[in-house]
């Protein structure tokens, strides 16, 4: 296959960046998209040019590291597929392909296609956990969980934190990501004690990171490589509303003080 690539090149956070064009004529249909990028980088290296920086790691669709907007869609044209699981057979011979980084003000570009997604970690720090220490715990079967609820929690927990939802959203909202974690924990008995605090603090962190608000475009769900449902956003909104209607009482400070 012959293909023409237009790739975003940006040397650092402060660089303005621009698209550059490359042609590859030895692409094979069974190559993964990232193997095609490896081939491009090998070519650039041998020619003495700088290869394209991009994030990737597991290359089996689960680590959430790969992150490319391909022809305007996060992770490319195939639904429920990460960039690393996309294959060149999904493109035509002679295709022109545009490759850009995630575009969102909360995800600044670090270099070329690499962006800074640390805002996601900070949203989790705001409450995406069950407060816990390591040590003896009750036997799990002492708290039965209805299998459907456990499965729905797992549907939400399947989020790989790649950030495609943000890249896909015209508002750059992180509500799908935030609601997936809040719902995973909020559905399970272990997550109940902190459920409403969690909803409030995660949403507030999301806003302070510069992510936009949800306007129900549903592009996030359409481009999510794990098919996370926007129903979780509704769930989070409901928890957030309930939490907001209650006068906040902060006893945590007293409880922890010794």
State which of positions 66-95 bind another protein (CB under 8 A).
81, 85, 87, 89
Residue 251 binds another protein (CB under 8 A): no
Q: Which stretch binds another protein (CB under 8 A): 93-101, 128-136, 170-178, 246-254?
A: 128-136
Of 3, 7, 8, 56, the one binding another protein (CB under 8 A) is 56
4 binds another protein (CB under 8 A): no
Burial of residue 122 (number of CB atoms within 10 Å: 0-12, 13-18, 19+): middle
Options 20, 23, 57, 92; binder of another protein; rule CB under 8 A: 57
Least distance from another protein to the Cβ atom of residue 133, Å: 5
Of 18 and 134, which has the nearer Cβ to another protein?
134
The sign one gets for the Cα dihedral 46, 48, 52, 56 is: positive
Report the distance separating Cα 165 and Cα 51, nearest Å: 27
Interface stretch with another protein, choices 16-24, 69-77, 92-100, 126-134 (CB under 8 A):
126-134
- DSSP-assigned beta bridge partners for residue 5: 22, 97
Site for another protein in 219-238 (CB under 8 A): none
- The burial class, CB within 10 Å (0-12 / 13-18 / 19+), for 71 is middle
Q: Give the list of residues 6+ apart from residue 165 with CB closer than 8 angstroms, or none.
A: 74, 173, 174, 175, 176, 177, 220, 221, 223, 224, 228
Q: CB under 8 Å to 240, separation ≥6 — which residues? A: 199, 200, 203
Residue 55 in the binding site for another protein (CB under 8 A): yes
Where does this chain touch another protein (CB under 8 A) — which range of 54-62, 98-106, 208-216, 232-240? 54-62
Compute the least distance from the CB of residue 183 to another protein, in Å.
11
Which stretch in 113-121, 164-172, 208-216, 228-236 sits in contact with another protein by CB under 8 A?
Answer: 113-121
Quote the tokens at residue 115: 């962006």
Number of residues that bind another protein (CB under 8 A): 78
Q: Give yes or no for residue 65 binding another protein (CB under 8 A).
A: yes
* Backbone phi, psi, residue 106, to 5°: -80, -10
Can you say whether residue 237 is alpha, beta or left, with left for phi > 0 and alpha for psi between -120 and 50 degrees?
alpha
User: In DSSP terms, which residues pair with 24 in a beta bridge?
Assistant: 3
**Residues within window 145-184 making contact with another protein, judged by CB under 8 A:** 145-147, 150-151, 153-154, 157-158, 160-161, 184
């Amino acid at each position: 296959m012959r293909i023409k690539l237009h790739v975003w090149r940006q040397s650092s956070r402060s660089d303005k960046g621009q698209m550059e064009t490359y042609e590859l004529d030895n692409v094979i249909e069974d190559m993964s998209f990232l193997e095609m990028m490896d081939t491009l980088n090998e070519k650039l290296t041998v020619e003495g040019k700088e290869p394209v920086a991009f994030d990737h790691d597991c290359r089996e669709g689960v680590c959430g590291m790969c992150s490319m907007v391909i022809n305007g869609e996060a992770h490319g044209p195939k639904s429920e597929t990460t960039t690393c699981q996309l294959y060149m057979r999904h493109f035509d011979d002679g295709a022109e392909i545009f490759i850009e980084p995630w575009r969102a003000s909360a995800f600044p570009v670090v270099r070329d296609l690499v962006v800074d997604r640390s805002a996601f970690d900070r949203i989790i720090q705001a409450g995406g956990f069950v407060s816990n220490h390591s040590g003896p715990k009750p036997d799990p079967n002492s708290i039965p969980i209805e299998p459907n609820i456990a499965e729905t929690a797992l549907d939400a927990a399947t989020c790989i934190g790649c950030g495609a939802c943000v890249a896909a959203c015209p508002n750059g909202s992180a509500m799908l990501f935030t609601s997936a974690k809040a719902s995973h924990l909020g559905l399970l008995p272990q997550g109940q004690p902190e459920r409403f605090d969690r909803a409030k603090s995660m949403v507030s962190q999301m806003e302070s990171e510069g992510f936009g608000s949800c306007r129900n475009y549903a592009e996030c769900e359409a481009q999510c490589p794990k098919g996370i449902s926007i129903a979780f956003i509704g769930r989070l909104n409901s928890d957030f509303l309930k939490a907001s209607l209650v006068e906040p009482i902060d006893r945590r400070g007293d409880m922890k003080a010794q």
